[in-house]
Structure 1
């Protein structure tokens, strides 16, 4: 079971990197550079609020899983 947790930790870190790339290139930077006020506000919310929460949570969870924090032997 611990090996599955480590594999899933790698998967969570990869998902965090994909979400960060997709969030910056599709939702963040193009929306911030837009001339529309609605898109501009949405882009800043994505970059400053949602991206750190989502990427930070996925990355932290993946790192803890990969380093063995959730292993059965830690009890």
Structure 2
């Protein structure tokens, strides 16, 4: 079970990287350069608020799973 947790830690880190890429390249920057005011506001929210929260959260969770912080014998 511990090997599965470590494997899923790698999966979470990869998901964090993919989420950062898609939030920046597919959602954030195209909305900012579109020129419409509502798109620019949405792009700024995606880039500067949601992307760091989502990708850092997934990355930290994956790092802790990979490091073994969720072992049952830690307590």
Q: Same fold (TM over 0.5)?
A: yes
Q: TM-score, normalised by structure 1?
A: 0.95
> Paired residue for 1:56?
56
Instruction: Report the TM-score when normalising by structure 2.
Output: 0.95
Runs of 4+ more than 2 Å apart: none
Report the 3-state secondary structure (helix = DSSP H, G, I; strand = E; otherwise coil) of the residue aligned with 2:69: coil
**Residue in structure 1 matched with residue 10 of structure 2 by the alignment:** 10
2:73 and 2:33 map into 1 onto residues whose CA distance is 50
Q: Distance in 2 between matches of 1:54 and 1:48?
A: 11
Flag structure 2 segments of 5+ consecutive residues without an equivalent: none
Which ranges of structure 1 fall in alignment gaps of 5 or more residues? none
Cα distance in 2 for partners of 1:48, 1:23 equals 10
